[in-house]
Structure 1
Amino acid sequence: MELEEIFNEYILKSEQLIITKRSMNDIAQNEIKNLNQKKEKEQDITGNKNSTHSMDFFFIQDVKSGETTRYKNIRSTVDEKIKQIVLQKNKQYQWILSESFEIFREFLIKSYAYLGYKDKNIWPLKDYGSIILSEIENKDYSFFLEQTKTKRDVPESILNIFRNTFPEYKKLETCNKLDVNLNLEINLIEHFRHIIVHCGGKTDEKHKLIEKIIKKSGLWNNGKYDSKHYDFISSFFRLKESNDIILLEIESNNQDGFPNKYYDVLSDLMNSLNSVAYLIVNEIKTIVK
């Protein structure tokens, strides 16, 4: 597999996730719009600002008798339905972020395998396993890919090799024209992915989580750190009534007269992963012809 193939495969998967994210947003916005319109009509007719919009029934099947029994019904107002839609949209956004990290991790594995295949002096000896050194020259890309899949602590262990191999990558990772600490964001996304997959996208130990991300990003100095990094991570837990990771768009305080402007939280995180992937590909090209 060639480097361009690896990158194009990654970008194609990322594009599909971006399209899915946009579709989910459109569906949610349309549903909310329709509910608000219905709310206005009901208010005009009944004068009630928030009457019952729907009734949901829930059933359970008895494995002994085979009978189906209704065990609960829930009345929901329009406002409650809108809240349900928003929470479900956020849950979908969480899974998109999780998948974004997975395809990024896959990209790193394949690009690292490619780098080792093209320049066998870059890999540390332990990454080759028990193979005899004289046999390495005859190994194809698939060997390097399989060896990389067994590498521990991915993505950090791979990114450390890139930092040591490409000084420009190490510099741009934290100081760039985007004014984004890409290392911090990768670590944030990795930890969020773990919480999304294993804890339903919420944590009861927000402060410990934030400190853990800051430490792994090399921004912890004997218990001291820049408050802007803490505040940045903390902003993803912006609902006071829950400990959920919130990835929903934030309406901006635009002063330019244009309506409906938003800060797109999820897209910005996904774009950071894409920027890192693009940077890595270009750095590999500098030493692999």
Structure 2
Amino acid sequence: MNLETIAKKYFEKSSEIEITQMIVKGASKEEFDELRRQEDIAKNSPELKFLPSALYVTTYRKLVNGQLMPYGSSQHNVEDLKLNILLRKNKQFCWLLAETYEAFEDFLEEVYAYLGFTNNETWPMSDFGEITLLELPSKDFEWYQSRVEHKKNKPSSILTRLRLLYPELSKIEAKNALGINAKIYLTLIEKLRHIIVHNHGIVTDKTRFIEKVMKDSALFNNGKYDVAHKEFIESHFGTGKYENLILLLEIKINSDAPINSYHDVFNELSGFLLAYAAYIYEIIKNHEIAQNQQLTK
């Protein structure tokens, strides 16, 4: 396994996820367009105004005789269906974010295994487990991968080691062309993924969630924090009855603009992970090139 293969695998997976997001966006738009058409029909036909736009009946088959049994039904007007589309679209975006973060974690773990495999000095002794130094030359890449699986506190422990090995990583996290704090992005996405997978994308205590993100990003000191960081985290949730729901839908930028323009929240988060992974790849590659040049002198 080489570094280029690891990076290529991650980028291909991320591209696949982003294309899926585009397909979901397109399908949702088609559904919305159809509902708008129904609204126009209703406006021109007053007698249809109070009729449901959709009637759903849910059923199951009895184990004894296979008879179809209804157990619920619901009627939905156009506004109900619009909301359903948005919530369903958001749920799909949430699961795609979870998937893209897991791909990022896989990338970090493979990169870390690669570092240990190609240069034992990059790993602390605790990562090797109960093995002697004389045995290491016989171990293949898969063995190093298995050791990474046992590493505690991933991915933060891997990132901590990478920052120690490559100080420029910490520098770019704090100051970069995007003008963002990379640590808060990493922490937020990790915790959003946890809530999506384990609690359907709903936080039980948003205030506590926000504080946890800032503490783990080293941005919460004795109860003090930057309001901009708090607002950034809050911007990934809904409002009103959905204030505790993770919301990753597009946000319209300027309602007065001659064309519709949107800020793609999902793409911002997934794009950050791509940029961060690409930078890790670049600094490791550059260090390898520099080391090889030193050896050939």
| C-alpha contact (below 8 Å) 1:195/1:203 kept by paired residues | yes
TM-score by structure 1 length?
0.96
Q: Could you tell me whether the CA contact under 8 Å between 1:249 and 1:265 is conserved in 2?
A: yes
Partner Cα separation in structure 2 for residue 31 and residue 254 of structure 1: 22
Cα distance, 1:143 vs. partner?
A: 1.8
SS at match of 1:210: helix
SS at match of 1:73: strand
User: Match for residue 206 of structure 2?
Assistant: 206
2: CA distance between counterparts of 1:41 and 1:268?
38
Of the structure 1 ranges 71-80 and 275-284, higher mean CA displacement relative to structure 2 is found in 71-80
Alignment of 1:176-255 (within 5 A): 176-242=176-242, 243-253=244-254
Q: Which residue of 1 aligns with 2:107?
A: 107
Which amino acid is the alignment partner of residue 133 of structure 1? Answer: L
- Other structure's SS at 1:245 match: coil
Shift in CA distance, 39/227, structure 1 to aligned 2, threshold 3 Å? same
Q: Which amino acid aligns with 2:246?
A: I
* In structure 2, distance between residues paired with 1:204 and 1:42: 40
User: What is aligned with 1:58?
Assistant: 58
Moved over 4 A (4+): 47-50
Which residue does the alignment assign to 1:175? 175
Q: Deviations over 1:30-86 (max 9, x none)?
A: 100111111101220226556411110111333345322212221110111111011
Equivalents in 2 of 1:157, 1:271: separation in Å? 23
1:129-181 Cα deviation digits (max 9, x unpaired): 10101222332222211111111111100000011111111110121001121
What CA distance in whole angstroms lies between the structure 1 residues aligned with 2:49 and 2:224? 50
- Name the SS for the 2:53 alignment partner: strand
| Residue in 2 that maps onto 1:122 | 122
Partner of 2:161: 161
Please give the TM-score of this superposition, normalised by the length of structure 2: 0.93
**Which is worse superposed, 171-180 or 83-92?**
171-180
SS of residue paired to 1:121: helix
8 Å CA contact retained: 1:185, 1:269: yes
2:69: which partner in 1?
69
Q: Secondary structure at the match of 2:219?
A: coil
Distance, in Å, in 1 between the alignment partners of 2:26 and 2:89 is 10
Give the superposition deviation at 1:239: 2.3
| Counterpart secondary structure, 2:260 | coil
Structure 1: tracts of 5 or more residues without a match = none
> 1:288/1:139 Cα in 2 relative to 1: closer, same or farther (>3 Å)?
farther
Within a 5 Å distance, the mapping from 1:8-23 to structure 2 comes to 8-23=8-23
8 Å CA contact retained: 1:50, 1:79: no
Deviation at 1:186, TM superposition (A): 1.1
Taking the aligned partners of 2:131 and 2:8, their CA distance within structure 1 comes to: 31
Segments of structure 2 that go 5 or more residues without pairing to the other structure are 290-297
- What is the CA–CA distance in structure 2 between the aligned matches of 1:63 and 1:48, rounded to whole Å? 40
> 1:136-155, aligned counterparts within 5 Å?
136-155=136-155
Distance verdict in 2 for CA 1:207–1:103, change over 3 Å: same
Q: Which amino acid aligns with 2:204?
A: D
Which 10-residue stretch deviates more, 60-69 or 206-215?
60-69
Q: Report if the CA contact (8 A) 2:116-2:123 is conserved.
A: yes
Aligned length: 288
Q: Tell me the distance in 1 between the aligned counterparts of 2:161 and 2:136.
A: 19
Amino acid at match of 1:158: I
Deviations along 1:165-201, one digit per CA (max 9) or x if unpaired, are 1111111012100112121111111111111111011
CA RMSD, 1 decimal? 1.4
**Residues 254 and 260, structure 2, Cα contact 8 Å, conserved in 1:** no
Identical counterparts, % of pairs? 35
